[in-house]
Chain A
C-alpha cells in the first residue's frame, strides 16, 4: 500500500494559498472601501425565522454612523480615490482567483 502524502500536502497548500488569496484580498478590499469613505452597510435579508435580524432603525443608525465616519475621514479627496481604486483592484484579484480555481478544475 502506497500513500501519496505529497498529494495531501499539495491539497493543503493549494487550498491554503487559494483561501488566503481570496479572503485576504477581499478583506483588504473592504478595508480600503471603508478608507475611501464608502463603508458598506449590508443589512441581512429579511425572511421568516431569520437568525440575523436588523430593524430599520438599526440599519438607519448603522448608515448614519458610516456617513459620519466618512465625513470625518482625515484623507484628502485624492487619497480617497486611490483607496477606492485599490479596493476595486482587490475585489478584481478575488474574482480572478475564483475563475482560476474553476478553470483548474475544468481543464483538469
Chain B
C-alpha cells in the first residue's frame, strides 16, 4: 500500500472519530432541555437524537462545501504534504476537544476542528495557505453573531410564549402542553445538528480526497460513502454520549420550564437551519447555549450571572486559538520528521483516544467533567421563584385594590350605620324601659295610695257604724 493511501485512510479514520466525538459531545445540545423538563425520557431522547442526526446528515451539503472550498487554499498547496497536515489538524482538534471535556471547560467541536486545521496549515504552508477573509466571514463572525442571534430570538420567543398563554383569572394556563411541542422542536434541533455538524467531517474528508486527486477540485460535493460514513459516525457518537446527559442536567438545567425549553429549541433549530442554508459553519453548542441564556432572560425576574457567563465566553474565545496551537504543534512534528512525524502523531492520537475511552468508562462524574455548555448556560441566568408582575397584572392588581378599598369603605360605612342604629335602638329601648318602670312605679304608688285611702275610708266607716250602734 502506498504511503499516501495509508495517510488518507488515517485521515478518514481520524475524521470519522472526530465526528463520533462531536456527536458524543453534542447530544446535550438537542436533548438537554427536553430531558430537564421531563418532555422525554433520556433513553428515548438519545435514540431520537441519534436517528435524526443520521437523517440530518443527508439533508444538505452546504456547510461541507464551505469547509472544503474556502478556508484553506488547497489549490496552492502541494498534494503530498497536505493530507499529513489535515491529519495533524484533526489531532489538534480531537486533543483540544478531549482536554476541555476532561477539564470541564466550555468548548465548541466545530471551532476545535477549524482551529486545528488552521494551526496545521499555518505551520505547513505559512499565511498563504489560509484565506483569512473566508475565516473571518464564514467562521469567526458567525461564531460571534450566532449565539447572540440565537439568544435574542430565544428571548423574544420566550416572552411571546409566556404572554400568549398567561391567564389573569387564576385558572390553569395549560403551559404543560409545551412538553408535547418540545418533542418536535428538540427533534428539529437534532436534525439541524446532523445537517450542520456531520458536514464538517464530510468537508474535511473531501478536502483530503481533493488534495491527493481522488476527487476533482471543481466539485466540492462530498461523495456518497463520505456522507454515509460521517452520518453513521455522528449518529453513533450521539447515541453513545447519551449516558452523561442526565447527570449533566442535574447540575445545570434545573430552572428550565417547558415554555422556555420549547422557545430555546425553536430558536436553536431556526438559527442553525437558516445558517446551514446559507453555508455558515456554526457551532451548534454555542447556538444552543445562546438560546438557553436568551430564554432564561426571557422569564420575568431573571438576571445574568456574569461570572458564569464570562467563563463560558472565555471558553468560546479560547477554543479556536488553543486548538490551532495544538494543531500547529502536531504539524511541527510532521514538518520536522516527515513520515516519522505522522507516525508519532498517530501514536499520540491512539493515546488520546485510549485516555478518552478509559475516562468514559469511569462512572464517577463530577463538576469538573460532567458539565456541559448548555447546562452552564442555564446557570449563567438566575431566575426568581416569585417573578415581578407584568404591566397588566399590575393594572389588574391596582384595580382589585381599588375595588377592595371601595368595598371596605362601603362595609365600614354600613358598619357605622348599623352601630348607630343599634345605639339608637338601645337608647330607645332604655327610654321605653325607664318610662315603663316609671309608669309601673306610679301605678303601684297610685294603687297603694288608693288602697290606703280605701282602708282608711273603711276604718272611718266602721268607726261611724260602731258609734251609731252604741248610741242606740
Interface presence of A84 (CB below 8 A)? no
Point out the residue from A20, A23, A43, A69 that lies within 8 Å of B262, measured CB to CB: A23
Task: Tell me the dominant secondary structure on chain A's binding face.
Answer: helix
Within 8 A of B (CB), among A46-60: 46-53
Q: In the docked arrangement, what's the CA distance between A10 and B167, Å?
A: 35
Interface presence of B355 (CB below 8 A)? no
Interface bits A8-32 vs B (CB < 8 Å: 1, else 0)? 1011101110111011101110110
CB distance from B160 to the nearest CB of A (A): 6
Given A1-B133, A15-B153, residue A105 in contact with residue B276 (CB < 8 A): yes
Interface presence of B238 (CB below 8 A)? no
Contact in complex: A108, B60 (CB < 8 Å):
yes
Q: In the docked arrangement, what's the CA distance between A41 and B172, Å?
A: 9
Instruction: Give the number of chain B interface residues (Cβ < 8 Å).
Output: 68
User: Taking CB as reference atom, which chain A residue is nearest B278?
Assistant: A7
Point out the residue from B38, B60, B176, B278 that lies within 8 Å of A50, measured CB to CB: B38
* Chain A residues positioned under 8 Å from B145 (CB to CB): 8
Within 8 A of A (CB), among B247-304: 247, 249-250, 253-254, 258-259, 262-263, 266-267, 269-271, 273-278, 280
User: Taking CB as reference atom, which chain B residue is nearest A15?
Assistant: B270
Contact in complex: A15, B136 (CB < 8 Å):
no
Interface presence of B222 (CB below 8 A)? no
Within 8 A of B (CB), among A34-79: 34, 39-53, 62, 65-66, 69
Contact in complex: A11, B275 (CB < 8 Å):
yes
Interface presence of B5 (CB below 8 A)? no
Contact in complex: A105, B160 (CB < 8 Å):
no
Contact in complex: A1, B132 (CB < 8 Å):
yes
Contact in complex: B270, A41 (CB < 8 Å):
no
* Chain B residues positioned under 8 Å from A7 (CB to CB): 278, 280
Pairs across A and B, CB under 8 Å, 24 listed:
A2-B133, A4-B137, A10-B278, A12-B149, A15-B267, A15-B274, A19-B154, A19-B157, A19-B270, A20-B160, A23-B262, A26-B262, A27-B165, A44-B179, A45-B39, A45-B40, A49-B250, A51-B35, A51-B249, A52-B36, A69-B172, A101-B188, A101-B273, A105-B276
Q: A residues near B, CB below 8 A? A: 1-4, 7-8, 10-12, 14-16, 18-20, 22-24, 26-28, 30-31, 33-34, 39-53, 62, 65-66, 69, 94, 98, 101-102, 104-106, 108
Top 4 A-B pairs ranked by shortest CB distance?
A44-B38, A1-B133, A40-B177, A52-B38
12 further A-B pairs in the complex, CB-CB below 8 A; given A16-B153, A44-B179: A1-B132, A10-B274, A15-B271, A18-B273, A19-B154, A24-B160, A34-B165, A40-B180, A48-B246, A49-B250, A52-B36, A102-B273
Q: B residues near A, CB below 8 A? A: 35-42, 59-60, 62, 132-133, 136-137, 141-142, 145, 149-150, 152-154, 156-157, 160-161, 164-165, 167, 171-181, 184-185, 188, 191, 195, 246-247, 249-250, 253-254, 258-259, 262-263, 266-267, 269-271, 273-278, 280
